[in-house]
Structure 1
Amino acid sequence: MMTIFDFEKPINELESAIAELRQIAAEKGLDRSREIAELEAQRERLLKQIFAHLRPWDKVLLARHPKRPYALDYIRLMCESFLELHGDRLGFDDPAIVAGLAKMGGHNFVIVGQQKGRDLKERQKRNFGMAKPEGYRKAMRMFRLAEKFRLPVLTLVDTPAADPGVESEARGISESIAQSMLTLFELTVPTIAVILGEGGSGGAIALAATNRVLMLEHAIYSVIPPEGCAAILYRDPNKAPQAADALKLTAESALALGLIDLVIPEPLGAAHRDPQTTALSVRSAVLQQLEELRTLSPEALRDHRYQRFRRMGVFEAVG
């Protein structure tokens, strides 16, 4: 079943009415095309009106939508071929991180992404997209492979955070995140990250220390989830919508703050309504960024990445 948020309920009512009219027309052989067309036009107007006035918390909900396309969906829709590789070569494999070799638009890529699950069984297997140390070490293995064979790197970011469990802490989750960032910083091949849904905390930045960071229109990018922020600042997790406003976690805010380079538009109604069109938009944006980055020398690519992140967080004291 499709998850329906409060702000989507008027749209859902119209879509139910359209589906009912179509069913009646099919069963009774009636021509209801005019009525259906009027309802569809009304639905389009309502979609535009609602999605033009989304609050940050609404975007949090959309970024977490259970039907939103995940990394493997994008890989399937964008790439001509994909060979998944497993293991960190230290004895572990983490299903929360998917990685492999891909061909897209005539270019060979190394792709590393965070994968959530569709049903409860897969979500448990993939730990809800929260990678453990071995996941980031698998990613580092792929980054080094890209460097060795001079392949561009594409990372697909979609995680609430890195795994916070005791076992991950014991195995060095913080160190693995830092090493993943360092490995990306040291590469001399083009690197591009796309934030697909949730870009949460260090779990996201571990894959996003890249030359270019792109972000889907209704994705979020934040140092902490709104619920965690509300619990700390307001002593009340129920104030998550208020925290979402304060965190500036939307794509528009991230672009204005210089944290990302490009916002990729989503189809009207968000990515889960039209995954194919969304994937084609992501593919086009990635290939365009790659063409620009390929003009830079290996040393210039590394320096570009360094300078890009050094510019973040710069402020001026007044008075």
Structure 2
Amino acid sequence: MEYLEFELPIKELEDQLDKCEIIGKESDVDVTETCKQIEKKLAETKKDIYKNLSAWQRVQLSRHPNRPYTLDHIKALCGDTFLELHGDRNVKDDKAMIGGLGKIGDQSYMFIGQQKGYNTKTRQYRNFGMSNPEGYRKALRLMKSAEKFGIPVVTLIDTPGAYPGLEAEERGQGEAIARNILEMARLKVPIITIIIGEGASGGALGIGVGDRVMMLENTWYSVISPESCSSILWRSWEYKEQAAEALKLTAKDMKRMKLVDSIIKEPLGGAHTDRDKAFSAVKDAIIKSYEELKNLSPKDLVNQRMEKYDAMGVYKD
């Protein structure tokens, strides 16, 4: 188990509890009461820490190395029914963007999302979850296939941004993302979007237009990362915590500004602390959203989606 800096008080208490239990097993000393006191203090400390997380701490949790990624969610949701589909039929198969057909219960869905790696080798293989233009074109191809057969689309967002390399720009990175936004806005099947980790910039927006847009509790969604914002405004990454607060990028901020529809609650400490509970919450959110959308006609579906996005940013004095 890896701990973030603000979680170190929890680590200390857990270490104390482990030592206390070992003493109880290896000696005749009754440590039951001591262990109970430590457990009580541990529970209170966890509650106190996670109840008062700053924006930057939530950004850190969204990047936790043990946090479940897109394929983890899909495998938990679909089991053996998931069939991954590859390629954009133009350049190549982008490993940072994955997609395919899967079932939750008896209902088929087209799943699309960014995938990060678990170690150095797989992170390089997945390009750190940063898609090239062919990744967005693959996503669009899969969405169009879903539309053709009347299959709802589920997108799972977890990316530090679209790949900013020269070759990506040469192959039309901006156009690919813009095309996806346009086509998703008028897609004639339900689109359910969930931010499961990082939701940065156009990299997230390229698969982020949905009838229902939801965020897991410890995720973020913004036009720019706190580090990049800090480097632009202060010419240094040292002000990333201030940038995170100023950007209003947490799930609560997004919900308050009506940029997302709902927040999916995570287990105490983050999705990585109880994966099954996190997967179950995501599954329930998808099923509930689809039940609300499935009886709408394609015309009503597109009209509601257009109205939803037209209303964003509108205010009265």
Pick the TM interval, shorter chain.
over 0.9
Which moves more between the two structures, 25-34 or 150-159?
A: 25-34
Cα gap change, 1:107/1:32 in structure 2, threshold over 3 Å: closer, same or farther?
farther
Show structure 2 runs of 5+ residues with no match: none
Identity %: 46
Aligned to 1:69: 68
Pairwise CA distance, 1:276: 1.0
**Partners in 1 of 2:148 and 2:25 — Cα distance?**
59
Q: RMSD value over aligned CA atoms?
A: 1.4
Q: Secondary structure at the match of 1:263?
A: strand
Question: How far 1:313 sits from its partner (Å)?
Answer: 1.2
Q: How does 1:210-229 map to 2 (within 5 A)?
A: 210-229=210-229
Q: Which residue of 2 aligns with 1:235?
A: 235
Matches of 2:228 and 2:288, distance apart in 1: 36
Task: String of CA shifts for 1:75-129, please: whole Å, max 9, x gaps.
Answer: 1112242111111111300110110000013210000011111100000010110
Q: C-alpha distance in 1, partners of 2:127/2:30?
A: 50
Which residue in the other structure is 1:38 paired with? Answer: 37
Match of 2:295 in 1: 295
- Give the deviation of 1:30 after TM superposition: 6.5
| Cα distance in 2 for residues equivalent to 1:228 and 1:162 | 14
**Higher alpha-carbon deviation: 252-261 or 30-39:** 30-39
- Aligned ranges 1:172-191 → 2 under 5 Å: 172-191=172-191
Instruction: Report the equivalent of 1:200.
Output: 200
Q: More deviation in 26-35 or 51-60?
A: 26-35
Distance change in 2, residues 1:122/1:285 (3 Å)? same
Distance in 2 separating the partners of 1:135 and 1:27:
56
Q: Does the CA contact (< 8 Å) of 1:21 and 1:36 recur in 2?
A: yes
Amino acid in the other structure paired with 2:283: R
Q: Aligned AA for 2:234? A: Y
Q: CA deviation at 1:172?
A: 0.5
Cα distance change, pair 161–25 in 1 and its aligned pair in 2 (3 A): same
1:133-148 → structure 2 map (5 Å cutoff): 133-148=133-148
Q: How many residues align?
A: 316
What is the TM-score with the length of structure 2 in the denominator?
0.96
TM-score by length of 1: 0.95
Paired position in structure 2 for 1:279: 279
8 Å Cα contact 1:156-1:196 kept in structure 2? yes
Unaligned ranges ≥5, structure 1: none
Q: CA offsets, 1:165-222, max 9 Å, x none?
A: 0110100000110111122112111100000010000000111101010100010000
CA distance in structure 1 between the partners assigned to 2:185 and 2:30 by the alignment: 62
